[in-house]
Amino acid sequence: MKTFFTLIACLLVCGTSFAQKISKLSGKVVDEKNQMVPFAIVRLLNFPDTSVVKSVSTNPDGEFVIDQVKNGDYVINVSIVGFKTKKTAKLTVTGDLNIPAIGIESTTKQLKEVSVQGKKPFIEHQIDKTVLNVENSIVSTGGSALEVLEKAPGVQIDRQSDQIKLNNKSGVLVMIDGKTNFLSGADVTTLLSNMSSDQISTIELITNPSSKYDAAGNAGIINIKLRRNKAYGTNGSVTGNLGRGIIPDAPSDLYRGGVSLNLNHRQGKWNVYGNGSFSRKVNFNNTFLTRTTESDGLASVLTQNFDRQNTGVGYQGKIGTDYYASEKTVFGVMIDANTVSSKLSNLSNTDINEMKNGIASSSSIIQNANSEFPFNNLTANFNIKHDYNKDGKSITFDADYSGFGNKKDENFLANYLDADGTPTKNTTLKNATDAKINVYAAKTDLTLPLSKTMKIEAGLKSSYVVTKNDFISEEFVSGAWQNDLGKSNYFVYKENINAAYTNFAKEWDKWQIQIGLRAEHTSSKGNSVTDNKEVKRSYLSLFPTVFINQKLNKDNNIRYSYSRRVDRPNYQQLNPFVFYMDPLAVDQGNPYLKPQFTDNFEIGYTYKQASFTLNYSDTRDMITQISKQDDATRVISVIRENLGRSQNFSASVYVPVRVFSWWNLQNSASLYYSKFKDGNLEGAAYSANKAAVNLYTSSSFTLPKNFSLEINFWFNSPRVSGVEQTTIPQYALNAGIQKTMLNKKLKFRLNMDDILLTNHWEGKLAYQNINMTVVNHYISRRAYISITYAFGNQNVKSERTRNTATDDIKGRAGSN
């Protein structure tokens, strides 16, 4: 570790010594009111052939400097969105030259026309990713980030295992503003359920990331970009929303609401930004489960009904600053904190019907469970970016710390009843979990252009994680609480990952190619202190990537790509102790879980805005959730295992249609075929395969008097994932309307999700001695009203987007 960080420091310090000054041109750019114009593109052109010598941008004060200029004749070209391009008269350089202010003229009328005609659609397909433009979407207003993702083509939200799937594949790396949250599975969905869609600008779906990205995430990356103010000076926006779930046979309190504030201030060499939000979320679901057991001639049928209501209040705040030390060097610091306090009430009723030797009997268990789980996170980032004289040559450095605290207090009261409903016994249990996670990381990235058509990227990264989980289980016996030593456990996990990567990119007239290789060495140790059980691992993994782009003509394009990815078990999955859920169900970790590796192949064809994509992925040692049943005790254990092999074939098509000038359609369809195979899953071979379909269509209408309307519909057919089979189609119709006022600074939005109340889940697990069916209803129909007001100048560049050093490991820390 020490040697690695020393290497990073040397790379950063020694690299900056390359900048040398010969002669230079300096000046400033102003508008027609003689006000400085920041972030304008200034190009130095040879005279008279106007070939580009180099390009720079003006700093926040509108000033620019062009170094290493040889003697000769030149002209300067200045351009920026919202202004007419300006070209100066001929300049003769014989030494350092300070140019008089260059005045440029705004094109207000032209900008207005572009903003109306060029409004981005909700879904935008780019060459290397799919982008959801949430900020301008009416149907995404007032909901949560998780509910927005559910509307995205190719994304499925598995409500049973709390997994997010992309193209019918689990193992998605979720990033927020280029950095991954430290959660996974149920914890990621909990976080995204508490994140308001009003905080989100765009969501990027990246199915085949390059070597520059962390290798985690076998299905790809979902990057959620939060809203940023875009102006020089002081500006911001404030949003308030109120909503309610509308489903039958549910509690009356299904209200949601929130307020968020974004602020940004730019002056001189400083940019200070921040945001804060408050939200109240309520979730409710009803689960009906049926399963059978058979042991020593005793056949049992168990039917269970669960009503769960989760109420949570969350606060989030971020503050940061960028200091532009020069036109080439920027320093930045950022602190991000959030806390969520949730309460869960869970009422379950289990009916047990037995048959032995022709004699039937019955009994039941009623359990009332309540839990509280406060969760908090603090992340701090320090970063540097230095741009060299040569166009595009730069080096960045990030140092990060993230700390997580998660406590959970649970109480369980179970009453056992005979066939007549007479109580026979009761049990009172309580669990206390105290989890702490600390992550330290640093990374550096170098971009080195070799020519106008060729460049190399390289980088180093190191991360160190320590997670401590103290679990205490107690039972109330004879008037006193007694520690259940068979369940209580103290678990410590430490992990160090060192990585290095390089990318080579080259462009020709019709072809582009990028080849990369990432190496990651992982060293880990999981220690169950109570059980005196220790598992150590140390391994080196290589992750090659290849991207080829073939431009047939201006309208036709073909791209080919390959990448290798990894998903490491999250920290809670490795924790070996048993979590009590109810008298007949427990959740258990597995310290012997191995990482899963995936090879991804993709071919895509684009014609204008339409596209067609073929994808194949092959995953070995797939981490999956399975159930193991003890027929004698009728207790079912939810565990995580490595499934031998998973293969996924998919074909997707996207076709946008402009029906009229006021009506735009977006349509996509995907066909999947998934295969799962294991030679020895819980003592026997397992094999499953199934084809599935995902459909999506969205219409946006521009109406008179600044009204607009959006309607979208999505459909997922029955499918299989690991040992879990979805047995019914899921689909939903959503609609929203918007009114803008005060020169579009004030927006009123009203929308409703799942108007027809068709989105619920039904499935089954059928393998070895498991025979179980599940029906799950949750809050899918929701109505929202939202008001947003933007103030200040909203038209200039925002604060920098940065990828921090903790990207690959944050998604693996368990919480609730």
Q: Which residue, among 174, 179, 183, has the nearest Cα to 149 in the 3D structure?
A: 174
Residue 248 φ/ψ region, left for φ over 0, alpha for ψ in the -120 to 50 degree band, beta for the rest: beta
Question: Among 344-348, 489-493, 529-533, 684-688, whose mean pLDDT is lowest?
Answer: 529-533
Do you know the residue count of the chain? 816
Residue 527: Cβ within 10 Å count: 18
CA distance 576 to 586: 12
Q: Which residue, among 800, 812, 814, has the nearest Cα to 381 in the 3D structure?
A: 800
Q: ∠ CA 225-227-232 to the nearest 5 degrees?
A: 125
Give me 692's structure tokens: 């599935």
- pLDDT for residue 8: 43
Strands 761-767 and 684-703: unpaired
- Check residues 177 and 183 and name the one with the higher pLDDT: 177
Q: Which residue, among 7, 12, 2, has the nearest Cα to 445 in the 3D structure?
A: 12
pLDDT above 70 covers what percent of the chain?
A: 83
Give me 441's structure tokens: 């990381």
C-alpha dihedral sign at 574, 577, 582, 585 = positive
What are the distances in angstroms from CA 420 to CA 304, 423, 532? Answer: 18, 9, 46
- Check residues 617 and 116 and name the one with the higher pLDDT: 617
Beta partners for 287?
306, 776
- Check residues 184 and 295 and name the one with the higher pLDDT: 295
Question: Among 48-52, 59-63, 191-195, whose mean pLDDT is lowest?
Answer: 191-195
- pLDDT for residue 416: 96
CA distance 589 to 185: 13
- pLDDT for residue 810: 46
Given a contact cutoff of 8 angstroms between Cβ atoms, the answer to whether 436 and 396 are in contact is no
Query: Residue-wise over 131-165: b if at least 16 C-beta within 10 A, else e?
Result: bbbbbbbbbbbbbbbbbbbbbbbbbbbbbebbbbb
Residue written as tokens 């109306």?
116
- pLDDT for residue 114: 34
pLDDT above 90 covers what percent of the chain?
A: 45
Q: What's the rounded mean pLDDT across residues 278-298? A: 93
Q: Which long-range contacts (CB under 8 A, 24 or more apart) does 315-319 make?
A: 315/276, 315/277, 315/278, 315/339, 316/195, 316/199, 316/275, 316/276, 316/277, 317/274, 317/275, 317/276, 317/277, 318/274, 318/275, 318/276, 319/272, 319/273, 319/274
Beta carbons within 8 Å of 366's beta carbon, 6+ residues apart: 347, 348, 349, 350, 414, 415, 417
Q: Is the confidence at residue 799, as pLDDT, over 60?
A: no
pLDDT tens digits, 622-644: 999 899 999 999 999 999 899 99
Q: Is the confidence at residue 665, as pLDDT, over 80?
A: yes
What is the average pLDDT value for the chain, to the nearest integer?
83
DSSP state at residue 14: H
pLDDT tens digits, 123-175: 665 556 677 777 766 656 656 677 677 666 667 666 555 567 776 666 677 77
HSE-up (13 A, CA, CB side) for residue 72: 13
Beta partners for 346?
308, 369
- pLDDT for residue 579: 79
Give me 90's structure tokens: 């001929």
Q: What's the rounded mean pLDDT across residues 280-293? A: 93
Beta carbons within 8 Å of 312's beta carbon, 6+ residues apart: 194, 280, 281, 282, 340, 341, 342, 343
For residue 51, the SS3 value is: coil
pLDDT tier at 795, thresholds 50, 70, 90:
very low
- pLDDT for residue 485: 67
For residue 187, the SS3 value is: helix
Question: Among 55-59, 81-85, 449-453, whose mean pLDDT is lowest?
Answer: 81-85
- pLDDT for residue 184: 53
- pLDDT for residue 91: 87
Q: Which residue, among 100, 66, 198, has the nearest Cα to 145 in the 3D structure?
A: 198
Q: Which residue, among 246, 207, 815, 814, has the nearest Cα to 559 in the 3D structure?
A: 207
- Rounded-to-10 torsion of CA 28, 30, 35, 37: -80
Q: Is the confidence at residue 803, as pLDDT, over 70?
A: no
pLDDT tier at 25, thresholds 50, 70, 90:
confident
pLDDT tens digits, 322-380: 898 887 899 999 998 989 899 999 999 999 999 999 899 999 999 999 999 898 989 99
What are the distances in angstroms from CA 236 to CA 20, 117, 267, 456, 534? Answer: 40, 24, 15, 38, 51
Give me 750's structure tokens: 């009203």
Q: Is the confidence at residue 619, as pLDDT, over 90?
A: yes
SS3 string, 529-544, reads CCCCEEEEEEEEEEEE
- pLDDT for residue 68: 79
| Amino acid letter, residue 373 | F
Q: Is the confidence at residue 751, as pLDDT, over 70?
A: yes
pLDDT tens digits, 216-268: 766 677 888 776 554 456 788 898 999 999 988 888 899 999 999 988 887 77
Residue 68 φ/ψ region, left for φ over 0, alpha for ψ in the -120 to 50 degree band, beta for the rest: left
Question: Among 2-16, 716-730, 800-814, whose mean pLDDT is lowest?
Answer: 2-16
- Rounded-to-10 torsion of CA 204, 210, 216, 222: 0
Question: Among 60-64, 437-441, 450-454, whose mean pLDDT is lowest?
Answer: 60-64
CA distance 218 to 173: 8
Given a contact cutoff of 8 angstroms between Cβ atoms, the answer to whether 380 and 398 are in contact is no
What are the distances in angstroms from CA 733 to CA 668, 715, 756? Answer: 15, 9, 7
- pLDDT for residue 546: 93
pLDDT tens digits, 526-579: 898 887 888 899 999 999 999 998 989 888 989 899 999 998 887 778 887 777
Q: Which residue, among 88, 83, 81, 85, has the nearest Cα to 102 in the 3D structure?
A: 88
Q: Which residue, among 804, 750, 801, has the nearest Cα to 381 in the 3D structure?
A: 804
pLDDT tier at 33, thresholds 50, 70, 90:
confident
- pLDDT for residue 656: 87
Given a contact cutoff of 8 angstroms between Cβ atoms, the answer to whether 786 and 406 are in contact is no
Given a contact cutoff of 8 angstroms between Cβ atoms, the answer to whether 396 and 382 are in contact is no
Q: Is the confidence at residue 718, as pLDDT, over 80?
A: yes
**Model pTM?**
0.74
Q: ∠ CA 79-384-179 to the nearest 5 degrees?
A: 95
- pLDDT for residue 446: 93
Domains in the chain, start-ordered, CATH in brackets? 2-111 (2.60.40.10), 119-812 (2.40.170.20)
